[in-house]
Structure 1
């Protein structure tokens, strides 16, 4: 599609009509619907067909019958009909895509206080009753995610039922989830009719400022919509029950801001908020408040448990990063309320984090499991995404501090020790931090904490990892030190992660389960328990499928004992369906990271991110015919 070949609104409406009907429509019928004459319809059809020619789609014209769509490539057609997500987010335009139709039905039913007949929905959406019956199955599934049900009564139709709080959360989900603006849009204002969203926004901003309650722009937009929903429901005599919001945690700032918002909204809309509705507004204020300090220990205790589990599973130790710990604890304070009351939270960064920062997302998943256990509540992926942002910050800081803490042991005097120290600092200034220089006796009698030791004399196996060098640091000595520095030795040296024994090309069709089993078998010799390894991989997939994008999936165990860090690779000529969304993988990397080798882990994920972000690279890997070709492709990566 070129910039000049853009469907004007009238053409889109014409196509919507034909797509909904999927049968002949007369020129007069289309002209009446679009408020033009038949000659304009004929002209539009001719122009549209010229544009559609490239995709093999067309509008068939038959004298005496009218016009009908003939689709050879429905995906391309839908791309023309709704090329941008913003165009599909319209609360009043009748949707043509099945997924949008389900959201429309949910919104439509939420607006009704009584039952709605399926015939009415079919007429509203210009589809058959059988199509509506099919959509209703998806509607029920989506409502169940919000603890709501769809009751059905003969001769009356269907109705959404559940607690008022859950109905409102569902309402906001299908009102806000696809919104592309942080400002109040015209569509949203039109949806709420006489409820003035911009005046509500003014009241909220003034109240938050007066009581020093800080919120993000997204949170403020979310609060505006929730206040508007509350006003609409109260006007319809639909109230929140006090018992639905017990054990809410809040501070005095949040309470005073909520009270001020309610007083002014009552005056603006000429309604009365009962006590339970104050609690409802307070819930949204305290669950979105960006705190600057905390006064409790529970969050710190939870954070410490998260970090202990991350250290156990991945080897990363963030216990000394006090700013990160404080930030994560501050994040948890409002998050606990959101989780406790099953509030839906939209995370616009989620897909970007999963795709581009998979390691941070993995750490977020570990943190989620700890938090879910503490609160005895399920936690959404959106919340995981926000946790991952904090871990991304911690990882970024860690990457700045990758210097190895090294002890020097020199048995031949201070002059030799200083010479060795000077040479090491000059060559490894960015990689090594020398924390002390000692004699052999001092070293053996002390209790030192270092990543490894550089010594001019043999130390023996019992005293930990060390590199023996000459005081003059020869080329061989330098190479031996480099072997202790993964950030140097691993650059474009992918043989340390990959090998031909862990490489497979599948020409035939395989299921996801078959691929996982096949790759897990590669680790039989390096895993202490191969069966447990496979089960752990499947357990991780059950949490969140490991598809990242560009046809790449990265399955791995939650925790496994392996003797070396390896990546098993499968290139599937036939795409493998990897998740419920229907995403298909053709490049599968199964990771097995040896415990305490997080330097490798970080580097592996950086490499994986480059594959995901580079379609051309992923395409080349899919076409690789052997292991050597595969390695040559990866060797071009910048790591």
Structure 2
């Protein structure tokens, strides 16, 4: 078996596909020439009969040679793993974080660097990069001369931080989650915990989304390991009393009792509270009919939270001219989601939304409505939502808007949907599917972890999977969770081959967007270096041309603080909150070089002076924005233009 550093040498040689000198390898890995030679000898022995070998030649260096069998071996070894390499600079620091989180005493930078095969300086830099992450988790990194460094914080915070680190290293969504997590808990049999969680799902009649299932599996594993090390969570009597009155407490007790029996450990009330805290933060993939849901089952504070949530929906619906308050399915689903989300935020549990980029690019209008909802949530509940949470809300809102447009009561083919990202994603997908294909009947929605057990050969016409899936003897169409145009064409080809062409529409013309542009509020090939500079320059131009009021620039900057307005593919659409628009228009700016805007690189800025209360126009603009970002020809024209008249979008 190859050691991590030996595997890294193979990664370097395979990526470059040409010779490396021993000195270059030594410099890249921060090791000596002698160590390089020793490692190369070991790797040669490991590669025997694999179809690949390491060759060396004076003047040329060291390189990999392989045949087709060897290429398959290397692809599987280096590219097919579920864990990010510990030698990868982007993830290496998280392996260091694991060492710090697992250490009960001070640990020296030298011992960390030796274990990671990196220099002491590199280890120090990685540790410094981890400080903001630890602070976000409520932990303090203590440094002491001659002793080293250690992490200080409550037991619950240390556990949450470790779960977060493992999430950043492992790609664990799918049916093989136990195998992927096992290397992080070598002294535990993860399959036993897997069986406990599956038994809990069946016993209590709920299904966790794949991401939440994996999350709970990690936390249960951490609980057992920490208890074995003599580490227990402190008891908060007030929190414990509140938990014991909730319906989920029975699930928590069931899992805790099973963990105690299976691993011969004792879970204190503090440990059970910690488990309950994480259980409440999960996303349960269940569809609750509005007419059967009982609000009183969710704790004493449900009534007040519901009233506040209804006010938010009513306010947002009024602002965007949408009937959000009238959608009981949205109200229930988001109410349950909010309670879980507030629990995570309260305990500093940060879950990344794996669909964030797709939501930002495909659901531009829904994301804008969700950002407004997030602003109202902050005012009402004093909770700061990040981009991941706003994307969750956008999916629920997207589902609601799709349901509103959907046609009903048509005979249909029967399908089963396999969806791995939780209730918001599955609701959005099902609703959009219903609008585009009202004749399709959805038999059931299942997570990928249960697909092979719950989908029979004769129970549906075909399966729609939003995650990669193959089922023996069953037709599976793999589609995007956003159900884009290509996916719709694929489904249309399957159920109505003769009508396929009806879905192909000419979206390469953007009349609403370009009708609102003017040379007077356009700036081309600008030298701005930051989003603040762009917003200030464009904002002053809009104010000067009497499109917006004074205060517009400050409002735009506040809107950016809530969530960046970059939407992918080089575009950003900065705009203010309501109350500043004097005249409708779209200011256009292009940049000579891209700048960082949130997590994106941006070179085309469309600053909006649009009243969000003009619903149809607002939705049309955002629809065209979502479409134009996918039009490479249009992007090229815009970037090359010297004036608005140079942009001629083809039919």
Report the TM-score, using the length of structure 2 for normalisation: 0.71
- Does 2:276 match 1:266? no
Question: Of 103, 112, 134, which aligns to 1:112?
Answer: 103
Instruction: Name the counterpart of 1:12.
Output: 11
DSSP 3-state at the match of 2:146: coil
Question: Of 159, 162, 165, which aligns to 2:156?
Answer: 165
Q: Decide whether the 8 Å contact of 1:561 with 1:595 is kept in 2.
A: no
DSSP 3-state at the match of 1:589: strand
Instruction: Name the counterpart of 2:394.
Output: 388
- Does 2:272 match 1:278? yes
Report matched runs for 1:237-636 at 5 Å: 237-243=230-236, 246=239, 248-249=242-243, 253-288=247-282, 290=284, 292=288, 293=293, 294-295=295-296, 296-311=302-317, 314-399=320-405, 492-524=511-543, 530-579=549-598, 581=599, 583-630=600-647, 632-633=648-649, 636=651
Is 510-519 or 567-576 further displaced after alignment?
A: 510-519
Q: Decide whether the 8 Å contact of 2:611 with 2:618 is kept in 1.
A: no
Tell me, in whole angstroms, the C-alpha distance in 2 between the residues paired with 1:85 and 1:167. 31
- Does 2:144 match 1:153? yes
Cα distance, 1:234 vs structure 2? 0.7
Instruction: Name the counterpart of 1:21.
Output: 29
Cα distance, 1:596 vs structure 2? 1.7
Check 1:327–1:574 CA distance in 2 against 1; reply closer, same or farther (3 A cut): same
Tell me, in whole angstroms, the C-alpha distance in 2 between the residues paired with 1:328 and 1:195. 36
Cα deviation 1:309-368 (Å, max 9, x = unaligned):
424654545233333223222322333322222222232112211222122222222222
Check 1:521–1:312 CA distance in 2 against 1; reply closer, same or farther (3 A cut): farther
Instruction: Name the counterpart of 2:87.
Output: 95
Cα distance, 1:269 vs structure 2? 0.7
Tell me, in whole angstroms, the C-alpha distance in 1 between the residues paired with 2:643 and 2:77. 39
Tell me, in whole angstroms, the C-alpha distance in 2 between the residues paired with 1:13 and 1:187. 24
DSSP 3-state at the match of 2:132: helix
Instruction: Name the counterpart of 2:202.
Output: 209
Tell me, in whole angstroms, the C-alpha distance in 2 between the residues paired with 1:615 and 1:164. 51
Tell me, in whole angstroms, the C-alpha distance in 1 between the residues paired with 2:345 and 2:193. 26
Instruction: Name the counterpart of 2:434.
Output: none
Report matched runs for 1:111-190 at 5 Å: 111-177=102-168, 178-182=170-174, 183-190=176-183
Check 1:517–1:22 CA distance in 2 against 1; reply closer, same or farther (3 A cut): same
Cα distance, 1:613 vs structure 2? 3.0
DSSP 3-state at the match of 1:297: helix
Cα distance, 1:620 vs structure 2? 3.3
In the alignment, structure 2 segments of 5+ residues that lack a partner are 1-5, 16-24, 65-73, 297-301, 408-506
Cα distance, 1:44 vs structure 2? 2.9
Cα deviation 1:363-420 (Å, max 9, x = unaligned):
222222332343334333322221111111123244559xxxxxxxxxxxxxxxxxxx
Cα distance, 1:241 vs structure 2? 1.0
DSSP 3-state at the match of 2:54: helix
Instruction: Name the counterpart of 2:190.
Output: 197
Tell me, in whole angstroms, the C-alpha distance in 2 between the residues paired with 1:535 and 1:82. 52
Cα distance, 1:569 vs structure 2? 0.5
Tell me, in whole angstroms, the C-alpha distance in 2 between the residues paired with 1:357 and 1:140. 34
Check 1:539–1:33 CA distance in 2 against 1; reply closer, same or farther (3 A cut): farther
Check 1:88–1:123 CA distance in 2 against 1; reply closer, same or farther (3 A cut): farther
Check 1:564–1:608 CA distance in 2 against 1; reply closer, same or farther (3 A cut): same
Cα distance, 1:185 vs structure 2? 4.3
Tell me, in whole angstroms, the C-alpha distance in 1 between the residues paired with 2:237 and 2:392. 26
Question: Of 202, 214, 225, which aligns to 2:218?
Answer: 225
Check 1:87–1:244 CA distance in 2 against 1; reply closer, same or farther (3 A cut): farther
Q: Decide whether the 8 Å contact of 1:203 with 1:261 is kept in 2.
A: yes
Tell me, in whole angstroms, the C-alpha distance in 2 between the residues paired with 1:330 and 1:188. 29
Tell me, in whole angstroms, the C-alpha distance in 1 between the residues paired with 2:565 and 2:76. 29
Instruction: Name the counterpart of 1:437.
Output: none
Tell me, in whole angstroms, the C-alpha distance in 1 between the residues paired with 2:76 and 2:628. 29
Tell me, in whole angstroms, the C-alpha distance in 2 between the residues paired with 1:270 and 1:143. 32
Is 254-263 or 209-218 further displaced after alignment?
A: 209-218
Cα distance, 1:18 vs structure 2? 4.5
Check 1:533–1:199 CA distance in 2 against 1; reply closer, same or farther (3 A cut): same
Check 1:623–1:164 CA distance in 2 against 1; reply closer, same or farther (3 A cut): same
Cα distance, 1:146 vs structure 2? 0.8
Check 1:83–1:539 CA distance in 2 against 1; reply closer, same or farther (3 A cut): farther
Tell me, in whole angstroms, the C-alpha distance in 2 between the residues paired with 1:67 and 1:268. 51
Q: Decide whether the 8 Å contact of 1:95 with 1:104 is kept in 2.
A: no
User: Which structure is larger by alpha-carbon Rg, 1 or 2?
Assistant: 1
Instruction: Name the counterpart of 2:420.
Output: none
Check 1:323–1:96 CA distance in 2 against 1; reply closer, same or farther (3 A cut): closer
Q: Decide whether the 8 Å contact of 2:82 with 2:180 is kept in 1.
A: no
Cα distance, 1:537 vs structure 2? 0.7
Q: Decide whether the 8 Å contact of 1:18 with 1:68 is kept in 2.
A: no
DSSP 3-state at the match of 2:551: helix
Check 1:322–1:509 CA distance in 2 against 1; reply closer, same or farther (3 A cut): closer
Instruction: Name the counterpart of 2:54.
Output: 44
Tell me, in whole angstroms, the C-alpha distance in 2 between the residues paired with 1:526 and 1:312. 29
Cα deviation 1:5-34 (Å, max 9, x = unaligned):
xx9987327679646436873563332452
Aligned length: 511
In the alignment, structure 1 segments of 5+ residues that lack a partner are 1-6, 48-60, 70-79, 402-487
Tell me, in whole angstroms, the C-alpha distance in 2 between the residues paired with 1:567 and 1:82. 49
Cα deviation 1:144-186 (Å, max 9, x = unaligned):
1111111111111111111111111111111124424333243
Tell me, in whole angstroms, the C-alpha distance in 2 between the residues paired with 1:110 and 1:44. 38
Q: Decide whether the 8 Å contact of 2:8 with 2:87 is kept in 1.
A: no
Q: Decide whether the 8 Å contact of 1:146 with 1:169 is kept in 2.
A: yes
Report the TM-score, using the length of structure 1 for normalisation: 0.72
